[in-house]
Structure 1
Amino acid sequence: MAMFRYLTVQKVSLLVLVKLYCQSVLPSSATIPILSFILSHTIARVPSSARSHSEASQDASLPIHAFEEVLQSQASSMPGRTLLDVFLKDLWAISSLDALHDLFNSLDSLFERDGPAGESEVHERPEDRIVLHKISPLGTFVRRMRLEFTRLQFDDAMKLWSAFLIYRAPTAQWTRRIAGLASSGVDVNISTFDLGPGDELFQVAYGQLDAEDEVIHAISTHDLERVLEFQLDRLQRLGCRVPDDMRAQLRSLLESTGSVVRQSHLVNFFDAWRAGDYTSAFDNIHRYYDLAMLTRERMEYQYALLHMAILQAEFGSFTEAVAAINETIVTARENQDMTCLNFSLSWLQHLNNACPEQMKRAGYKGLLGSERDAFAFLKMKSRETGMYNLLSATLLNESKRCMATGESVPRAFEQLYQAAHLNTRESIDNHGGHMLLQSTLYSRLGLSDLSRTYCQLLLDCYGHSSPNDERIRARCRCAFNAMHSGRYDDALQLLEASEAFNHRTLKFQQYIYFCTGLIKLKQAIRRADWAACESLFSALDSDSCNDPEISFLLFETRIDYLICHGDFSQAFKLVEQRALALREHDADVLQRLGLLLMKATLFSTVRKPEGGFSVALRAASIAFRTRLMPALWSATGLLANILNTLGDFEAASRMLHAVIPQALENNEPLSCGILYSYLADSYVGLAGCAGPAMSTGNRSRITQMSRAGLYIDKALNCFKEVKDVHGECEQIMKKALLAKFRGDEKLAEEWAQNHNRVWDHTIHNVEQ
């Protein structure tokens, strides 16, 4: 059986409710709720920032119980009766197929009549009822219902009548309160001719009533298209897949239709894309646009090319993606489609910034000149065409580029606030990307608590309207913050909770997989679990990760592992290779700065302070200029450590005292523990410089040693918090050496035994 194009039994019931409204039988208090209910199921609502997207969706099935919930709470003009009683009375008054025809034939009386001159004859309007205008929302709905019913053949009208009987059947028990309404059964003619279920005529007319008719006629082709459009909106905006239960329902509905619904191929395309099914995605996108070319939607050819380019880039085929997007731009210019043209240019610019190495290998040389010229062009075109969504995205990309190149921080904030103002003024639902970028900016400024707050705000307040990609990134950042505080179990639990977001989406699963592996790697390195490190490194190959940020974090973790293992030559080689690659592709300044810090750390570890001093000083200068505060504190700590090695303990202590209070505000125990350890070394050096011959020198040395012990304790607590066994054991050995310098051999022995106990306990737990 084929679906009806527009008519459904639910709409017939809504038509009865519209007729009741026009007859002025509704009390004033019930007018707004009833009209809201009618319009919510007859007019497609546009989602807004004030209304959640789940609320903006429409239930095309609309069971009869929905009418009961709305009408039962509203009192009618009859004492002791509700509007549900009045509604069911009119609903059951349609007691035959002829009565159903009478309902549609009487719809003309609901409209105002036009006079000879085309003007409404207001004086002929009845005062006891409401008339509809033909172009009003309710008038449009009523006129289309009448037109669609007029076009029905007798067989289809009979099918609609049978489905209507099944639809209203659950209310038969309720209507027995009203005298004799349901006594006639399914049809008044049955009682007239004294027919029953065993008679042949009854079996011919109503013997085939079953749930199949109800399923088929519960939704029309028009409603199915609206459901598919809603699914497309969710797939495109949120980047998710179709849920399993919804997929089964859509499949059964599509199989029951007599014609092919073009949007179904696009739904299957996005679903296969998110699942990583490259072949099925291409197959469905070709089917969709082949059908579009057979109809009047020939202007959608450039959008087919655009989808093709995005799909090719998603699966790593950048050469084909560049060719497809170039053809998209040419086609959009020929068709004068400025929307597609501006979006294509914006996406090409974004892809070039996100994957510069792959785009360079694909032969892309840029279409819009320099970065600054490209952003100026996109902003100008988006303002001219009124594409405020594109303008907001361009402002965010420009702010991101400012951070990546190390330009002015106030300029980055200015662009962020311009995008936020535009989102509010034009009701643009781009809050997720804005908050993620603001979180990144605060993280670079050393305000980790504020950065985490913005991620949590995205998840709690804007999670329902943000794409899954942004929600997963926000949750992963919260997990990394928990990892930096030593709460590894909490971090892993946060990532496990992200499984509800990805819904078997390949890209999201890979991102969560790499983040989970990275946290486990950090934990294994700090626990000295080298077997786990080797296993995780073999599973997490940084070359297989498409995300530059995660790839660099994996590389940074590998360098930490090599330093802990003492393989300094391999670490130097990898750092030099990575620095050369980043220099060629003009990478993020934070990554280039991280390589300088790694090199300075290696020089300091292998006891070559002269080589590390210039590198650390250059890193500190760049970090100060670009306001990358955590990198500045790390570079200052390395400079202080090098000065300690060179014997300039006073300068080192002054530098550390200047940065430690700021580093404490960032709430990262590991970096604070390292700085405290360097400061303790400075005070030990100052104690060694104090002359022992004089009493003042002895007092000064005792004071410096006491301060060194205090900061060693602080460093020990920080390393314990992050469960770093290397740092913890190093501080315990410093406590033992400090006791030995004081002449307390017994205390020094106790600290040495404590060192062995901590190390053995850690190794024992690792082996278990």
Structure 2
Amino acid sequence: MASPRYITPQKISLLVLMYLYLVNDDDPSPATIPVLSFILSHSISWVPSNARRRSSNARSRPSNAVSRPSPRHADASFPIETYIDVLHGYDSDMPGLSLLDVYLKHLWGMDSFHALHNLFENIGNVMLTSRASLTGEELTDFGLITETSPLGLFVRRARLEFNRLQLDDTMKIWSAFLAFRAPTAKWSERLAGIASPGVDINTTNMGLKPGDDLYEVVYGHLAQDVEKSAEVSIDDLERLLEFQLEKLQRLGCRVPDDMKNQLGNMLGSSGVVLRQSHLVKFFDAWKAGVFTTAFDQLHRYYDYAMQTREKIHYQYALLHMAILQADFNCFGEAVAAINETIATARENQDMTCLNFSLSWLSHMSKAYPKQMKGVGYMGMLGSERDGLTFLKSKAKETKMYNLLSATLLNEAKFYMSSGESIPRALECLYQASHLNIKEDIKNHGSHMLLVSTLYSRLGIAHLSSVHTDLFLHCFQAECPIDERIRASCRSALSTIPCGRYEEGLRILKTIDVSAHRSLKFHQYLLLCTGLIKLRRAICWTDWEACKHYISSLRPDSSTDPELSFMLSEAHIDYLIAREYYTDAFDAIEALTVSRKEDSSDILQRISMLLAKAELFRKVGKPARGFSIALRAASVSFKARLMPSLWSAVGLLASILNSLGEFEPAMRLLRAIIPQCLENEDHRLLGTLYSHMGDSYMGLAGTTDISTHRRLMSRLAKMKRGVRFIDKTRECHERTESIEGIRDQYVKKIILCKFHRLPEGADIVAQELAVAWEQGMEKFARH
């Protein structure tokens, strides 16, 4: 039969247990809490939810278009054995009978179709109709409930829906109930006064048995109905679909295959078309990257909404459409749709939709400035600072704490990306954290990732990795899947400066395979994996592999802006390593212009300054790079970008070495190397050690050796230089930089020949050959 509207055998059995709990349980018992918890978990349809979508990630997760609270999941098709698990083991007030025996006695006491009607009539007597009836005597009665209580609402809804049933549907419900309780026949056989299992009292009084014609006409189908007793009602299907929608929107994932098959079977057997099913299919197709199907399902959902005169959802239809268009790089259509959304939300005075739309528009203009300008968007909220101030004030006025928390995080991100006050950014982060805890906002992922970014910019790599690991171990279950993937990828990419490439690849492999079912997440993981392999190939001087990775990892407009810059930066490093200096200069200039036009992160602009200064040093024109490196160091110091500051100071020291100013270069390096040691960046540390070795060698070369004391001073400086050469080689061995290892061995060979030590030069040459063979063996294995 088609799925019932509301009444199911599960709800009837739940009413029997509720009646037993309210009427016959005079004294509290150890079973009170488990029984009441079980009743409430399966009878309450809706519970409040704070799962509002964050505006910072609005591009991938739109706001809930259905403006009602999200459901809490409960198994609507639970079998009769669930009651056995809950009630078994508790004693009742009747000697020799457990609580399960008493429940089965009442359950099997419904021995006729008339008894079913009596249940719905009698269950209404336990409710108090008004406060006026709450006399002193009734207040002491245990088990009475009010009409507005959760149990009272369930009872009222059940009685109303039962009274609306036609006779034929009521008979089907009765037959389904008999099939539902049939598995407990063996439990009820030892209870006195109970009719034969599987039939009602009327068949017993008439002497009917299985096989008789009249019995077969009435109850002959019970054996087949036992297999169908787990069918759910339309109301349960709506709750299940709403639960799936809440998960899809909050976590940003796809529907699992097994759940998709179960939903398809349930909806197919229900005989009705639920509009929520179209929205579930929309989110699933969207995350799968199937634009046509997602577009079609979205239209179908809101066509049903218009047919039911729910015109309040029109602005949410436009909002979903804008986010969908932007996710598939149709920015012109997205801007047109979001403008219509804002106009409609203002007309309908929907402040929630209006504020969310403005926040999403602000996020898009910041994340994709070039694409937004290309379609003619010139800004609606003025400058970014003015927009954040406006959104904060509106969020406070309307008490949209999710939007306020996201705006605070965006404000902290603004201070960090613009190079302004770091203390102000920390203040915004602490305010957002306090708000998340106070209002129970599930915004821990974005907050902890931003804190991790802040510590990495301050050069405190340990705290940065701690916050990332803390998020992955403690909060990833309740955070969106894109934040989990971003945290895992950040943890993997952080292994590149340390040379732990295999560990980074292993982290990416441990990500749940279900993430690859979404096209966007699959591409993101593919790019991160390729970036790690590209960096390792550059260190190994595997130029063929580098060409392959660069050609396959071309960033496009859909690539994450931060990841796109990292890929472009790796490409520039490859060109410099191959000594394609003209191409590298052109790439640096093009990337610098694009970063300046987009008003991008100050860290990216400083990285381009450092790349240009390094290029001038490589081509033998260090003086031209001095002012560039000095500018990068000044901006980095003001913005508290410590790793960039250390790189800039290292470049200044290298330029000073090339100009013969060894003592100032050494003083600069001594000031930053202890701090760089705490950052665990072996690639940068190896570079600084190399510059320090060059400074000592330069000082040794300029030292006067006219006296024995000065000669010993020269030898001491050379020994220190050799020690720093060895430290540099150790750092390059950790990062697997073959060119760096070779350069340090060559320096030692030159020193041995300078001291007329041919045997030492041969030993160093043998060590270089062994290191080269080991590197080639590792290269061959991969």
1:216 CA drift (Å): 7.0
Give the distance between the partners of 1:95 and 1:726, measured in 2 at CA. 88
**Alpha-carbon shift at residue 188 of structure 1 (Å):** 2.7
Does structure 1 residue 443 correspond to structure 2 residue 456?
yes
1:46 aligns with 2:59: no
1:162 alignment partner in structure 2 = 175
Aligned to 2:348: 335
Conserved 8 A contact 2:179-2:225: no
Task: Please identify, of 208-217 and 336-345, the stretch whose mean Cα deviation from structure 2 is larger.
Answer: 208-217
Residue in structure 1 matched with residue 649 of structure 2 by the alignment:
636
Question: What does residue 17 of structure 2 align with?
Answer: 17
The yes-or-no answer on 1:6 pairing with 2:6 is yes
Mapped contact 1:392–1:419 kept (Cα < 8 A): yes
Residue deviations 1:31-83 (CA, integer Å, cap 9, x gap): 2222121111111233579xxx9994222222222222221132212334321
The whole-number CA distance in structure 1 between the counterparts of 2:186 and 2:343 is 65
Q: Deviations over 1:182-205 (max 9, x none)?
A: 634332333333333322222211
Structure 2 Cα separation of the partners of residues 389 and 20 of structure 1: 43
Assess, with a 3 A threshold, how the Cα gap between structure 1 residues 338 and 54 changes in structure 2: closer, same or farther. closer
- Aligned ranges 1:67-216 → 2 under 5 Å: 67-112=83-128, 119-120=132-133, 122=135, 125=138, 130-179=143-192, 181=194, 183-210=196-223, 215=228
Q: Does 1:317 align with 2:319?
A: no
Q: Which moved more, 1:192-201 or 1:241-250?
A: 192-201
Structure 1 CA distance for aligned equivalents of residues 493 and 124 of structure 2: 66
Aligned length, in residue pairs? 762
Aligned AA for 2:480?
A: P
Give the CA deviation at 1:626: 0.5
CA drift at 1:754: 2.2
State the Cα deviation string for residues 477-500 of structure 1 (Å, max 9, x = none): 111122332222221111112234
Does the 8 Å CA contact 2:588/2:612 hold for their aligned counterparts? yes
Which digits, 9 at most, give the CA deviation of each residue in 1:363-404, with x for residues without a partner? 000111111111111111111111111111111111111111
CA distance in 1, matches of 2:317, 2:645: 48
Q: Which residue of 2 aligns with 1:29?
A: 30
Counterpart code for 1:91: L
Tell me which residue corresponds to 1:326: 339
Question: Could you tell me how far 1:132 is from its partner in structure 2?
Answer: 2.3
Letter in 2 for 1:69: D
Decide whether the 8 Å contact of 1:160 with 1:217 is kept in 2.
Answer: no
Q: Match for residue 406 of structure 2?
A: 393
**TM-score of the superposition, structure 1-length normalised?**
0.96
Q: Is the 8 A contact 1:676 1:711 kept in 2?
A: yes
Cα contact 2:111–2:195 (8 A) shared by 1 = no
Query: In structure 2, do the counterparts of structure 1 residues 141 and 767 end up closer, same or farther at CA, with 3 Å as the change threshold?
Result: closer
Mapped partners of 1:319, 1:48: distance in 2: 32
2:507 partner SS? helix
Alignment-derived partner of residue 78 in structure 2: 62
More displaced stretch, 339-348 vs 129-138: 129-138
Tell me what 2:470 maps to.
457
Deviations, residues 680-714 of structure 1 (Å, cap 9, x unaligned): 11111111111121112111111101111111111
1:369 is aligned to 2:382: yes
Q: 1:659: which partner in 2?
A: 672
Change in CA separation of 1:738 and 1:65 when aligned onto 2, cut-off 3 Å: farther
Is 1:517 aligned to 2:517, yes or no?
Answer: no
Q: Is there any run of 5+ residues in structure 1 with no aligned partner, and where? A: none
Aligned with 1:81: secondary structure? coil
CA–CA distance in structure 2, aligned partners of residues 279 and 391 of structure 1: 34
Amino acid at match of 2:21: Y
Structure 1 residues 254 and 750: CA distance shift in structure 2, 3 A: same
CA contact (8 A) 1:216 1:256 kept: no
Shift of 1:113: 6.0
Give distance in 2, aligned partners of 1:390 and 1:446: 30
CA deviation string 1:212-237 (max 9, x = no partner): 67547631111111111111111111
SS of the aligned residue for 1:41 comes to: helix
Aligned-residue Cα RMSD (Å) equals: 2.0
In the alignment, what sits opposite 1:735?
748
Pair 55,641 (structure 1): closer, same or farther in 2 beyond 3 Å: farther
Q: Which residue of 1 aligns with 2:592?
A: 579
Q: How does 1:200-599 map to 2 (within 5 A)?
A: 200-210=213-223, 215=228, 218-500=231-513, 502=515, 504-543=517-556, 546-599=559-612
Deviation, structure 1 residue 437: 0.6
| CA distance in 2: counterparts of 1:77 and 1:453, whole angstroms | 55
Quote the sequence identity (%).
54
1:695 and 2:708 matched: yes
Q: Residues 526 and 726 of structure 1 are in contact (CA less than 8 Å); yes or no, is this contact kept in structure 2?
A: yes
Q: Which amino acid aligns with 2:78?
A: L
Which amino acid letter does the alignment assign opposite residue 19 of structure 1? Y
Comparing 25-34 with 522-531, greater Cα deviation is found at 25-34
**8 Å CA contact 2:460, 2:679 repeated in 1:** yes
More displaced 10-residue stretch of structure 1: 141-150 or 586-595: 141-150
SS at match of 2:273: coil
- Report how far residue 735 of structure 1 moved: 2.0
Would you say the 8 A contact 1:22–1:130 is kept in 2? yes
Inter-partner Cα distance in structure 2 for 1:126 and 1:344: 51
Deviation at 1:767, TM superposition (A): 4.7
Give the C-alpha shift of residue 733 in structure 1: 1.5
Q: Distance in 2 between matches of 1:442 and 1:295?
A: 52
Instruction: Give the 3-state SS of the residue equivalent to 1:462 in structure 2.
Output: helix
How many angstroms apart in 2 are the aligned matches of 1:123 and 1:557?
80
In the alignment, the residues of structure 1 paired with residue 49 and residue 312 of structure 2 have an alpha-carbon distance, to the nearest angstrom, of: 26
What secondary structure sits across from 1:464 in the alignment?
helix
Q: Distance in 2 between matches of 1:126 and 1:430?
A: 44
- Which deviates more, 710-719 or 755-764? 755-764
TM-score, normalising length from structure 2?
A: 0.94
d(CA) in 2 for partners of 1:621 and 1:481? 25
Which amino acid is 1:564 matched to? A
Deviation at 1:545, TM superposition (A): 5.1
The superposition leaves residues 728-768 of structure 1 with CA deviations (integer Å, 9 ceiling, x where unpaired) of 11112222222223332111122123223323443454356
Letter in 2 for 1:45: V
SS of the equivalent of 2:495 reads: helix
Rounded Cα–Cα distance in structure 1 between residues aligned with 2:679 and 2:428? 25
Could you tell me how far apart the structure 1 residues matched to 2:136 and 2:352 are?
Answer: 50
Letter in 1 for 2:149: S
Provide the rounded CA distance (Å) in 2 between the counterparts of 1:751 and 1:182: 97
Comparing both chains, which one has the higher relative contact order based on Cα–Cα distances under 8 Å and sequence gaps of 6 or more? 2
Larger mean CA deviation between 147-156 and 472-481 belongs to 147-156
Query: C-alpha distance in 2, partners of 1:181/1:14?
Result: 20
Measure how far apart 1:440 and its partner are: 0.7
How far does residue 129 in structure 1 lie from its aligned partner after superposition? 5.3
Task: Tell me if the contact between 2:409 and 2:432 (Cα under 8 Å) persists in the aligned partners.
Answer: yes
Between the aligned partners of 1:733 and 1:231, the Cα distance in structure 2 is 63
Contact 1:112 1:125 in 2 (8 A): no
CA contact (8 A) 2:9 2:229 kept: no
| Equivalent residue letter for 2:403 | L
Match for 2:672: what amino acid?
V
Query: Does the aligned pair in 2 maintain the 1:184–1:191 contact within 8 Å?
Result: no
Q: Distance in 2 between matches of 1:244 and 1:81?
A: 45
